[in-house]
Amino acid sequence: MEKNMSRDAFLQQMKAGYDNIKVGVKYLPLLRLYDFAIYLSGNFPHKSSNTLIRKICRRFGLRHKRILDAGSFTGYHSFYFYCERNKVVGVELSDKADYAQMRYKHYPVLFLKGDVLQALDDMEDRIFDFIFCSNLPLHYDTGSVLDSPIFDDFMGKALKKLAPGGILFYIFFASKHAKVAIPVNMDELQDYCKAKGMVNYSIRKTHLLIEETAELVVRK
């Protein structure tokens, strides 16, 4: 990404990249049957994304909680959070939000299409117990969490939307993973949290996703 690009240009570039990722719309009837079987049985297949959500729900006691899936993509994380009996809102900038609405239309998961920063402003009355971000590409405008105004704006808005005792859980790529990924620098992430005066937070390397990743947990 080019450094110092405008916010609108950055968002449009991100949107275009994710819009171009193809999904199997023609397989939706079969996928809905698959999803229904998972919902009824509670037996998530042993794939990284599915087991990731189960691990997170067990770790943080996420049951009957209000969850924001920031950057929900095709909605699968949002759906699995819902399968754990949570109330879920997914926000996605790209047209994958439309796909999520089609695929999971029989479940009470709210999918919003648009900029997550604007969505946080628009959801004036909504407060969340848990905000989940899986490689949300907000620091890609500069490549660094230290000097990205977009990342900083998101963190400020998201933390304000947490209920007392709420948790923001952010997964970053800590090593080269894909063409769309810019890995976070662990030292810079630590410096960012210190500079913002955060107290109740933790940063660590983890293997929740396929590649080595870094996780940031901030408790309100």
Give the integer Cα–Cα distance in Å for 162 and 126: 9
Give the integer Cα–Cα distance in Å for 172 and 187: 13
Tokens coding 151 = 């990342």
Return the DSSP state at 185: P
19, pLDDT greater than 60: yes
Q: What pLDDT is stored for residue 131 in this prediction? A: 98
Helices (H) and strands (E) in the chain, counts: 8, 7
Tokens coding 130 = 């848990």
Higher-pLDDT residue of 11, 81: 81
Residue range 36-65: mean pLDDT, rounded: 80
Taking Cα atoms as reference points, which of 92, 95, 57 lies closest to residue 208? 57
111, pLDDT greater than 70: yes
Q: Any idea where the domains of the chain sit in the sequence?
A: 7-219
Give the integer Cα–Cα distance in Å for 136 and 133: 6
Residue range 44-70: mean pLDDT, rounded: 83
Average pLDDT value for the chain:
87
Q: What pLDDT is stored for residue 211 in this prediction? A: 61
Tokens coding 97 = 């939000």
Taking Cα atoms as reference points, which of 52, 106, 97, 104 lies closest to residue 71? 97
Predicted TM-score (pTM) of the model is 0.89
Cβ count within 10 A of residue 20 = 9
C-alpha Rg value of the chain to the nearest Å = 17
Tokens coding 92 = 């996605």
Higher-pLDDT residue of 91, 23: 91
Residue range 195-209: mean pLDDT, rounded: 86
- For 134-184, write each residue's pLDDT tens digit: 888 888 888 889 999 999 999 999 999 999 999 999 998 765 545 556 778
Q: What pLDDT is stored for residue 180 in this prediction? A: 59
| CATH of the domain spanning 7-219 | 3.40.50.150
Give the integer Cα–Cα distance in Å for 206 and 194: 21
Tokens coding 24 = 């199997």
Give the integer Cα–Cα distance in Å for 216 and 171: 6
45, pLDDT greater than 80: no
Q: Would you say 121 and 157 are in contact if contact means Cβ atoms under 8 Å apart?
A: yes
